[in-house]
Chain A
Protein backbone atom coordinates (compact mmCIF):
# COMPACT_ATOMS: atom_id res chain seq x y z
CA UNK A 1 0.00 0.00 0.00
CA UNK A 2 1.21 3.51 -0.75
CA UNK A 3 1.68 5.61 2.32
CA UNK A 4 2.22 9.37 2.35
CA UNK A 5 4.47 10.86 5.00
CA UNK A 6 2.47 14.04 5.38
CA UNK A 7 5.18 15.58 7.56
CA UNK A 8 7.66 15.28 4.68
CA UNK A 9 5.48 15.91 1.61
CA UNK A 10 5.87 19.40 0.14
CA UNK A 11 2.76 19.04 -2.08
CA UNK A 12 4.75 19.75 -5.22
CA UNK A 13 2.96 17.44 -7.69
CA UNK A 14 6.06 15.67 -9.02
CA UNK A 15 4.51 12.29 -8.11
CA UNK A 16 1.18 13.20 -9.72
CA UNK A 17 2.83 13.65 -13.11
CA UNK A 18 4.52 10.22 -13.18
CA UNK A 19 1.63 8.10 -11.87
CA UNK A 20 0.64 5.79 -14.74
CA UNK A 21 -2.78 5.21 -13.18
CA UNK A 22 -3.66 8.85 -12.54
CA UNK A 23 -4.31 7.76 -8.97
CA UNK A 24 -2.72 10.76 -7.27
CA UNK A 25 -4.18 14.22 -6.91
CA UNK A 26 -3.11 17.33 -5.06
CA UNK A 27 -5.93 18.94 -3.18
CA UNK A 28 -4.50 21.95 -1.40
CA UNK A 29 -1.92 20.75 1.09
CA UNK A 30 -3.19 17.20 0.80
CA UNK A 31 -2.06 14.43 -1.52
CA UNK A 32 -4.98 12.16 -2.29
CA UNK A 33 -4.25 8.53 -3.18
CA UNK A 34 -7.11 7.11 -5.24
CA UNK A 35 -8.33 3.54 -5.37
CA UNK A 36 -6.70 2.92 -8.75
CA UNK A 37 -3.26 2.98 -7.10
CA UNK A 38 -1.44 -0.30 -7.76
CA UNK A 39 1.46 0.38 -5.37
CA UNK A 40 3.86 0.26 -8.33
CA UNK A 41 6.27 2.58 -6.49
CA UNK A 42 7.10 4.89 -9.42
CA UNK A 43 5.95 7.93 -7.45
CA UNK A 44 7.98 6.88 -4.43
CA UNK A 45 11.11 6.80 -6.57
CA UNK A 46 10.44 10.19 -8.18
CA UNK A 47 9.60 12.06 -4.97
CA UNK A 48 12.31 14.70 -4.40
CA UNK A 49 11.93 14.37 -0.63
CA UNK A 50 11.13 10.75 0.09
CA UNK A 51 7.61 11.38 1.32
CA UNK A 52 6.11 8.32 -0.36
CA UNK A 53 6.62 4.72 0.63
CA UNK A 54 5.17 1.48 -0.63
CA UNK A 55 4.55 -0.53 2.50
CA UNK A 56 4.27 -4.25 2.65
CA UNK A 57 0.75 -5.11 3.70
CA UNK A 58 2.11 -7.94 5.85
CA UNK A 59 0.46 -11.29 6.43
CA UNK A 60 -3.27 -11.18 5.83
Chain B
Protein backbone atom coordinates (compact mmCIF):
# COMPACT_ATOMS: atom_id res chain seq x y z
CA UNK B 1 0.00 0.00 0.00
CA UNK B 2 1.28 3.43 -0.92
CA UNK B 3 0.84 6.68 1.03
CA UNK B 4 -1.10 8.36 -1.75
CA UNK B 5 -3.50 7.32 -4.50
CA UNK B 6 -5.60 9.14 -7.04
CA UNK B 7 -8.55 7.16 -5.73
CA UNK B 8 -9.11 5.29 -2.48
CA UNK B 9 -12.10 2.94 -2.42
CA UNK B 10 -13.62 1.96 0.94
CA UNK B 11 -15.40 -1.40 0.69
CA UNK B 12 -14.94 -4.45 -1.54
CA UNK B 13 -18.53 -5.26 -2.53
CA UNK B 14 -19.71 -4.99 -6.16
CA UNK B 15 -19.80 -1.17 -5.99
CA UNK B 16 -16.24 -0.82 -4.68
CA UNK B 17 -14.86 -3.53 -6.95
CA UNK B 18 -16.25 -1.99 -10.14
CA UNK B 19 -15.06 1.44 -8.99
CA UNK B 20 -11.53 0.12 -8.44
CA UNK B 21 -11.51 -1.80 -11.72
CA UNK B 22 -12.73 1.22 -13.65
CA UNK B 23 -10.15 3.49 -12.02
CA UNK B 24 -7.32 1.12 -12.87
CA UNK B 25 -8.57 0.79 -16.45
CA UNK B 26 -8.56 4.57 -16.77
CA UNK B 27 -4.93 4.60 -15.69
CA UNK B 28 -5.50 6.09 -12.24
CA UNK B 29 -3.64 4.88 -9.18
CA UNK B 30 -6.19 3.21 -6.92
CA UNK B 31 -6.43 1.16 -3.76
CA UNK B 32 -9.43 -0.81 -2.50
CA UNK B 33 -9.64 -1.42 1.25
CA UNK B 34 -12.05 -4.06 2.59
CA UNK B 35 -12.54 -4.52 6.32
CA UNK B 36 -13.57 -8.14 6.19
CA UNK B 37 -10.93 -10.82 6.14
CA UNK B 38 -12.41 -12.41 3.02
CA UNK B 39 -14.06 -10.74 0.06
CA UNK B 40 -17.62 -11.89 -0.44
CA UNK B 41 -18.26 -13.62 2.89
CA UNK B 42 -20.53 -13.76 4.67
CA UNK B 43 -22.95 -13.21 1.79
CA UNK B 44 -25.70 -10.75 2.63
CA UNK B 45 -27.87 -11.21 -0.40
CA UNK B 46 -30.51 -13.34 -2.11
CA UNK B 47 -28.22 -13.13 -5.18
CA UNK B 48 -30.84 -12.46 -7.87
CA UNK B 49 -30.03 -10.20 -10.84
CA UNK B 50 -31.28 -9.60 -14.40
CA UNK B 51 -29.32 -11.08 -17.29
CA UNK B 52 -28.84 -7.78 -19.10
CA UNK B 53 -27.95 -5.91 -15.93
CA UNK B 54 -25.03 -8.17 -15.20
CA UNK B 55 -23.78 -8.44 -18.77
CA UNK B 56 -23.16 -4.71 -18.74
CA UNK B 57 -20.28 -5.26 -16.32
CA UNK B 58 -18.94 -8.74 -16.61
CA UNK B 59 -19.11 -11.71 -18.94
CA UNK B 60 -21.44 -14.29 -17.36
CA UNK B 61 -19.46 -17.24 -16.11
CA UNK B 62 -20.86 -20.57 -14.86
CA UNK B 63 -18.37 -20.43 -11.98
CA UNK B 64 -20.52 -17.82 -10.25
CA UNK B 65 -23.97 -18.58 -11.62
CA UNK B 66 -26.00 -20.89 -9.40
CA UNK B 67 -29.21 -20.82 -11.41
CA UNK B 68 -30.66 -19.44 -14.59
CA UNK B 69 -34.13 -17.92 -14.22
CA UNK B 70 -36.94 -18.32 -16.74
CA UNK B 71 -39.69 -16.65 -14.80
CA UNK B 72 -41.11 -15.59 -11.49
CA UNK B 73 -44.17 -16.33 -9.41
CA UNK B 74 -45.94 -14.06 -6.96
CA UNK B 75 -48.05 -15.78 -4.34
CA UNK B 76 -50.93 -13.90 -2.72
CA UNK B 77 -51.83 -14.18 0.97
CA UNK B 78 -54.64 -16.63 0.11
CA UNK B 79 -52.30 -18.84 -1.92
CA UNK B 80 -53.43 -17.85 -5.41
CA UNK B 81 -50.53 -17.03 -7.65
CA UNK B 82 -49.41 -15.05 -10.62
CA UNK B 83 -46.81 -16.45 -13.01
CA UNK B 84 -44.53 -14.13 -14.93
CA UNK B 85 -42.51 -14.97 -17.96
CA UNK B 86 -40.92 -13.12 -20.83
CA UNK B 87 -40.90 -14.69 -24.25
CA UNK B 88 -39.25 -11.60 -25.61
CA UNK B 89 -36.12 -12.11 -23.54
CA UNK B 90 -35.87 -15.69 -24.78
CA UNK B 91 -37.35 -16.83 -21.50
CA UNK B 92 -34.04 -16.16 -19.81
CA UNK B 93 -34.71 -13.31 -17.45
CA UNK B 94 -32.08 -13.52 -14.75
CA UNK B 95 -29.59 -15.39 -12.65
CA UNK B 96 -29.15 -16.38 -9.09
CA UNK B 97 -25.48 -15.77 -8.45
CA UNK B 98 -22.99 -17.37 -6.17
CA UNK B 99 -21.79 -14.13 -4.64
CA UNK B 100 -18.97 -15.68 -2.68
CA UNK B 101 -17.37 -16.38 -6.05
CA UNK B 102 -18.85 -13.42 -7.92
CA UNK B 103 -17.68 -10.71 -5.49
CA UNK B 104 -14.20 -12.22 -5.53
CA UNK B 105 -14.14 -12.34 -9.30
CA UNK B 106 -14.90 -8.60 -9.47
CA UNK B 107 -12.14 -7.76 -6.99
CA UNK B 108 -9.82 -10.11 -8.82
CA UNK B 109 -10.55 -8.19 -12.03
CA UNK B 110 -9.84 -4.90 -10.25
CA UNK B 111 -6.51 -6.28 -9.07
CA UNK B 112 -5.70 -7.63 -12.55
CA UNK B 113 -6.42 -4.20 -14.01
CA UNK B 114 -3.84 -2.70 -11.66
CA UNK B 115 -5.68 -1.74 -8.47
CA UNK B 116 -4.07 -2.33 -5.09
CA UNK B 117 -6.32 -4.41 -2.83
CA UNK B 118 -6.06 -4.91 0.92
CA UNK B 119 -8.36 -6.96 3.17
CA UNK B 120 -8.98 -6.96 6.90
CA UNK B 121 -8.24 -3.28 6.54
CA UNK B 122 -10.88 -1.00 7.97
CA UNK B 123 -11.31 2.69 7.34
CA UNK B 124 -11.71 4.19 10.80
CA UNK B 125 -11.89 7.90 9.96
CA UNK B 126 -11.60 10.28 7.05
CA UNK B 127 -8.61 12.58 6.74
CA UNK B 128 -10.24 16.00 6.67
CA UNK B 129 -8.62 19.27 5.71
CA UNK B 130 -10.81 22.35 6.05
CA UNK B 131 -13.87 20.21 5.46
CA UNK B 132 -12.43 18.58 2.37
CA UNK B 133 -11.90 14.80 2.36
CA UNK B 134 -8.26 14.03 1.62
CA UNK B 135 -7.99 10.35 2.40
CA UNK B 136 -8.69 7.88 5.15
CA UNK B 137 -7.15 6.38 8.23
CA UNK B 138 -6.86 2.65 7.68
CA UNK B 139 -6.49 0.08 10.41
CA UNK B 140 -4.94 -3.31 9.68
CA UNK B 141 -4.69 -5.66 12.66
CA UNK B 142 -3.79 -2.88 15.04
CA UNK B 143 -1.47 -1.02 12.65
CA UNK B 144 -2.74 2.37 11.59
CA UNK B 145 -1.87 4.04 8.32
CA UNK B 146 -2.94 7.37 6.88
CA UNK B 147 -3.55 7.08 3.17
CA UNK B 148 -4.22 10.25 1.23
CA UNK B 149 -6.20 10.36 -2.00
CA UNK B 150 -7.55 12.92 -4.42
CA UNK B 151 -10.94 11.28 -4.19
CA UNK B 152 -12.28 8.79 -1.65
CA UNK B 153 -15.11 6.55 -2.79
CA UNK B 154 -17.36 5.38 0.02
CA UNK B 155 -18.61 1.95 -1.10
CA UNK B 156 -19.06 0.67 2.42
CA UNK B 157 -22.51 -0.81 1.96
CA UNK B 158 -25.61 -0.61 4.12
CA UNK B 159 -23.63 0.45 7.20
CA UNK B 160 -22.51 3.59 5.36
CA UNK B 161 -20.30 4.89 8.15
CA UNK B 162 -17.63 6.63 6.12
CA UNK B 163 -19.93 9.30 4.66
CA UNK B 164 -21.40 9.78 8.12
CA UNK B 165 -17.93 10.43 9.54
CA UNK B 166 -17.61 13.09 6.82
CA UNK B 167 -20.71 14.81 8.17
CA UNK B 168 -23.40 13.34 5.90
CA UNK B 169 -26.44 11.84 7.59
CA UNK B 170 -26.88 8.33 6.17
CA UNK B 171 -29.44 7.09 8.73
CA UNK B 172 -32.12 4.84 7.23
CA UNK B 173 -35.57 5.54 8.72
CA UNK B 174 -36.71 2.55 10.79
CA UNK B 175 -39.76 1.93 8.60
CA UNK B 176 -37.53 1.88 5.50
CA UNK B 177 -35.04 -0.74 6.55
CA UNK B 178 -35.93 -4.23 5.42
CA UNK B 179 -34.96 -6.29 8.42
CA UNK B 180 -33.88 -9.52 6.73
CA UNK B 181 -32.96 -13.12 7.36
CA UNK B 182 -32.23 -15.95 4.97
CA UNK B 183 -31.38 -19.62 4.91
CA UNK B 184 -29.66 -21.46 2.13
CA UNK B 185 -31.73 -24.63 2.21
CA UNK B 186 -31.29 -27.89 0.44
CA UNK B 187 -33.48 -30.92 -0.18
CA UNK B 188 -36.60 -28.97 -0.89
CA UNK B 189 -39.06 -29.34 -3.75
CA UNK B 190 -38.90 -26.44 -6.20
CA UNK B 191 -38.77 -25.33 -9.81
CA UNK B 192 -35.04 -24.66 -10.30
CA UNK B 193 -35.70 -21.87 -12.83
CA UNK B 194 -38.40 -19.84 -11.12
CA UNK B 195 -38.12 -17.33 -8.29
CA UNK B 196 -41.10 -17.15 -6.01
CA UNK B 197 -42.21 -14.13 -3.99
CA UNK B 198 -44.77 -14.42 -1.19
CA UNK B 199 -46.61 -11.30 -0.07
CA UNK B 200 -49.08 -10.53 2.69
CA UNK B 201 -49.23 -9.00 6.15
CA UNK B 202 -49.07 -12.32 7.96
CA UNK B 203 -46.21 -13.60 5.76
CA UNK B 204 -43.94 -10.55 5.52
CA UNK B 205 -45.40 -7.23 6.72
CA UNK B 206 -44.47 -4.39 4.33
CA UNK B 207 -41.94 -6.66 2.68
CA UNK B 208 -41.86 -10.05 1.04
CA UNK B 209 -40.56 -13.54 1.43
CA UNK B 210 -38.51 -15.08 -1.36
CA UNK B 211 -37.46 -18.47 -2.65
CA UNK B 212 -34.58 -18.07 -5.11
CA UNK B 213 -33.38 -21.38 -6.55
CA UNK B 214 -29.70 -22.24 -6.26
CA UNK B 215 -29.78 -25.51 -8.19
CA UNK B 216 -32.05 -28.51 -8.54
CA UNK B 217 -33.04 -28.89 -4.90
CA UNK B 218 -31.53 -25.88 -3.13
CA UNK B 219 -32.63 -22.30 -2.66
CA UNK B 220 -32.09 -19.05 -0.82
CA UNK B 221 -35.22 -18.81 1.28
CA UNK B 222 -35.35 -15.44 2.93
CA UNK B 223 -37.48 -12.57 4.10
CA UNK B 224 -37.43 -8.82 4.53
CA UNK B 225 -39.93 -7.00 6.73
CA UNK B 226 -40.19 -3.32 7.56
CA UNK B 227 -38.21 -2.32 10.65
CA UNK B 228 -41.33 -0.76 12.12
CA UNK B 229 -43.12 -4.12 11.94
CA UNK B 230 -40.26 -5.91 13.68
CA UNK B 231 -40.16 -6.61 17.40
CA UNK B 232 -39.97 -9.27 20.07
CA UNK B 233 -41.65 -12.46 18.86
CA UNK B 234 -42.31 -11.11 15.37
CA UNK B 235 -38.93 -10.52 13.82
CA UNK B 236 -37.75 -11.43 10.32
CA UNK B 237 -36.38 -14.73 11.61
CA UNK B 238 -39.67 -15.59 13.38
CA UNK B 239 -41.71 -15.09 10.20
CA UNK B 240 -39.17 -17.01 8.15
CA UNK B 241 -38.96 -19.94 10.55
CA UNK B 242 -42.70 -20.38 10.68
CA UNK B 243 -42.95 -20.24 6.88
CA UNK B 244 -40.23 -22.85 6.46
CA UNK B 245 -41.73 -25.09 9.15
CA UNK B 246 -45.03 -25.16 7.27
CA UNK B 247 -43.80 -25.26 3.65
CA UNK B 248 -40.46 -27.00 3.74
CA UNK B 249 -40.44 -28.99 6.98
CA UNK B 250 -37.91 -31.48 5.62
CA UNK B 251 -35.43 -29.02 4.18
CA UNK B 252 -31.88 -28.98 5.50
CA UNK B 253 -29.88 -25.88 6.29
CA UNK B 254 -26.55 -25.04 4.67
CA UNK B 255 -26.21 -21.43 5.73
CA UNK B 256 -28.01 -18.74 7.71
CA UNK B 257 -27.53 -15.02 7.27
CA UNK B 258 -29.15 -11.79 8.44
CA UNK B 259 -29.05 -8.34 6.92
CA UNK B 260 -30.61 -4.99 6.33
CA UNK B 261 -31.73 -3.53 2.99
CA UNK B 262 -32.62 0.11 2.68
CA UNK B 263 -35.76 0.94 0.70
CA UNK B 264 -35.68 4.67 1.39
CA UNK B 265 -34.97 7.38 -1.16
CA UNK B 266 -31.29 7.77 -2.08
CA UNK B 267 -29.16 10.25 -0.11
CA UNK B 268 -30.08 13.82 -1.08
CA UNK B 269 -26.49 14.39 -2.27
CA UNK B 270 -23.89 11.73 -3.03
CA UNK B 271 -20.79 13.92 -3.38
CA UNK B 272 -18.78 16.26 -1.18
CA UNK B 273 -15.34 17.83 -1.56
CA UNK B 274 -13.08 14.86 -2.31
CA UNK B 275 -15.80 12.30 -1.56
CA UNK B 276 -18.22 10.21 -3.62
CA UNK B 277 -20.76 7.75 -2.24
CA UNK B 278 -21.84 4.69 -4.27
CA UNK B 279 -24.04 1.61 -3.97
CA UNK B 280 -25.86 0.73 -0.76
CA UNK B 281 -23.90 3.43 1.07
CA UNK B 282 -25.68 5.98 -1.16
CA UNK B 283 -29.01 4.16 -0.59
CA UNK B 284 -29.50 3.46 -4.28
CA UNK B 285 -31.35 0.18 -3.78
CA UNK B 286 -34.53 -0.53 -5.75
CA UNK B 287 -37.25 0.26 -3.18
CA UNK B 288 -39.61 -2.45 -4.43
CA UNK B 289 -37.32 -5.41 -5.02
CA UNK B 290 -34.53 -4.51 -2.59
CA UNK B 291 -32.10 -5.27 -5.43
CA UNK B 292 -28.87 -3.31 -5.28
CA UNK B 293 -26.12 -5.31 -7.00
CA UNK B 294 -26.55 -3.65 -10.39
CA UNK B 295 -27.10 -0.20 -8.88
CA UNK B 296 -23.89 -0.54 -6.86
CA UNK B 297 -21.86 -1.48 -9.95
CA UNK B 298 -23.53 1.23 -12.03
CA UNK B 299 -22.84 4.01 -9.53
CA UNK B 300 -19.36 2.65 -8.80
CA UNK B 301 -18.37 2.93 -12.44
CA UNK B 302 -19.99 6.29 -13.01
CA UNK B 303 -18.41 7.80 -9.90
CA UNK B 304 -14.92 6.93 -11.09
CA UNK B 305 -15.56 8.20 -14.62
CA UNK B 306 -16.51 11.59 -13.18
CA UNK B 307 -13.68 11.50 -10.62
CA UNK B 308 -11.14 10.91 -13.38
CA UNK B 309 -12.22 14.09 -15.14
CA UNK B 310 -12.30 16.09 -11.93
CA UNK B 311 -8.81 14.92 -10.98
CA UNK B 312 -7.49 15.76 -14.46
CA UNK B 313 -8.97 19.23 -14.28
CA UNK B 314 -7.35 20.07 -10.94
CA UNK B 315 -9.44 20.08 -7.78
CA UNK B 316 -12.01 17.33 -7.21
CA UNK B 317 -14.32 19.72 -5.38
CA UNK B 318 -17.98 19.07 -4.70
CA UNK B 319 -18.85 21.07 -7.82
CA UNK B 320 -16.42 19.13 -9.98
CA UNK B 321 -17.84 15.82 -8.71
CA UNK B 322 -21.46 16.93 -8.94
CA UNK B 323 -21.99 15.59 -12.50
CA UNK B 324 -21.89 12.11 -10.94
CA UNK B 325 -24.83 12.90 -8.68
CA UNK B 326 -26.82 14.58 -11.43
CA UNK B 327 -26.10 11.91 -14.03
CA UNK B 328 -27.08 8.86 -12.01
CA UNK B 329 -30.27 10.57 -10.83
CA UNK B 330 -31.17 11.30 -14.43
CA UNK B 331 -30.27 7.79 -15.65
CA UNK B 332 -32.85 5.02 -16.14
CA UNK B 333 -31.62 3.59 -12.83
CA UNK B 334 -32.16 6.85 -10.95
CA UNK B 335 -35.54 7.41 -12.48
CA UNK B 336 -36.69 3.88 -11.76
CA UNK B 337 -35.64 4.21 -8.11
CA UNK B 338 -37.76 7.35 -7.75
CA UNK B 339 -40.71 5.78 -9.58
CA UNK B 340 -40.49 2.50 -7.69
CA UNK B 341 -40.17 4.37 -4.41
CA UNK B 342 -43.50 6.00 -5.02
CA UNK B 343 -45.09 2.73 -6.14
CA UNK B 344 -43.76 1.00 -3.04
CA UNK B 345 -45.22 3.65 -0.77
CA UNK B 346 -48.68 2.91 -2.17
CA UNK B 347 -48.34 -0.87 -2.39
CA UNK B 348 -47.42 -1.28 1.27
CA UNK B 349 -50.82 0.19 2.13
CA UNK B 350 -52.79 -2.44 0.16
CA UNK B 351 -54.72 -4.91 2.29
CA UNK B 352 -54.38 -8.68 1.95
CA UNK B 353 -57.86 -8.80 0.38
CA UNK B 354 -56.78 -6.35 -2.27
CA UNK B 355 -53.57 -8.26 -2.99
CA UNK B 356 -55.59 -11.47 -3.32
CA UNK B 357 -57.98 -9.80 -5.73
CA UNK B 358 -55.22 -8.33 -7.91
CA UNK B 359 -53.30 -11.58 -8.16
CA UNK B 360 -56.43 -13.68 -8.76
CA UNK B 361 -57.62 -11.65 -11.73
CA UNK B 362 -54.34 -12.02 -13.56
CA UNK B 363 -52.96 -15.51 -13.13
CA UNK B 364 -50.40 -15.42 -15.93
CA UNK B 365 -48.46 -12.64 -17.58
CA UNK B 366 -45.97 -12.50 -20.38
CA UNK B 367 -43.96 -9.33 -19.95
CA UNK B 368 -42.19 -7.71 -22.86
CA UNK B 369 -39.60 -6.28 -20.57
CA UNK B 370 -39.11 -8.00 -17.24
CA UNK B 371 -39.39 -5.21 -14.73
CA UNK B 372 -41.50 -4.28 -11.73
CA UNK B 373 -42.71 -1.19 -13.54
CA UNK B 374 -44.01 -3.23 -16.47
CA UNK B 375 -45.59 -5.66 -14.07
CA UNK B 376 -47.52 -2.91 -12.28
CA UNK B 377 -48.52 -1.39 -15.60
CA UNK B 378 -49.95 -4.72 -16.74
CA UNK B 379 -51.70 -5.23 -13.41
CA UNK B 380 -53.44 -1.89 -13.80
CA UNK B 381 -54.36 -2.67 -17.39
CA UNK B 382 -56.08 -5.83 -16.22
CA UNK B 383 -57.50 -4.38 -12.99
CA UNK B 384 -58.58 -0.89 -13.99
CA UNK B 385 -60.14 -0.44 -10.56
CA UNK B 386 -56.68 -0.68 -9.10
CA UNK B 387 -56.15 2.83 -10.36
CA UNK B 388 -58.42 4.08 -7.60
CA UNK B 389 -55.98 2.80 -5.02
CA UNK B 390 -53.06 4.02 -7.03
CA UNK B 391 -54.46 7.52 -7.51
CA UNK B 392 -51.30 9.18 -6.16
CA UNK B 393 -49.39 7.45 -8.96
CA UNK B 394 -51.64 8.54 -11.78
CA UNK B 395 -48.95 10.69 -13.38
CA UNK B 396 -46.64 7.68 -13.61
CA UNK B 397 -49.14 5.38 -15.30
CA UNK B 398 -50.92 7.88 -17.54
Contacts and interface: CB of A to CB of B under 8 A. Distances in A.
Interface in B160-178: 160-161, 164-165, 170-174, 177
A48 B230 contact: yes
B73 interface: no
B122 interface: yes
Nearest to B181: A48
A14 B228 contact: no
Contacts of B230: 45-48
A48 to B, nearest CB: 4
Given A17-B158, A46-B179, A48-B179, A28 B37 contact: yes
Interface residues of B, number: 35
Interface in A12-60: 12-20, 22, 25-28, 42, 45-50
A10 interface: yes
Contacts of B165: 22
Nearest to A42: B174
B313 interface: no
A36 to B, nearest CB: 11
Given A48-B235, A48-B237, A49-B237, A14 B180 contact: yes
A50 B173 CA distance: 18
A46 B260 CA distance: 9
Interface of A is mostly: loop
B258 A14 contact: yes
Interface in B220-242: 227-228, 230-232, 235-237
Contacts of B161: 16, 22, 25
B143 to A, nearest CB: 15
Interface in B230-276: 230-232, 235-237, 256-260, 262
Contacts of A15: 260
B44 A48 contact: no
Interface residues of A, number: 22
Contact of A18 (B37, B237, B258, B260): B260
B260 A12 contact: yes
B37 to A, nearest CB: 7
A31 to B, nearest CB: 11
B160 A17 contact: yes
A17 B181 contact: no
Interface string B329-370: 000000000000000000000000000000000000000000
Contacts of A20: 171
Contact of B227 (A18, A22, A26): A18
A18 B259 contact: no
A59 B159 CA distance: 35
A35 to B, nearest CB: 15
Contact of B258 (A10, A16, A17, A45): A10
A6 B177 CA distance: 22
A17 B172 contact: yes
B295 to A, nearest CB: 16
B181 A16 contact: no
Given A46-B179, A48-B181, A49-B237, A17 B260 contact: yes
B171 A46 contact: no
Given A12-B44, A13-B159, A14-B180, 9 more contacts: A12-B257, A12-B259, A12-B260, A13-B44, A18-B260, A22-B161, A28-B36, A46-B177, A50-B235
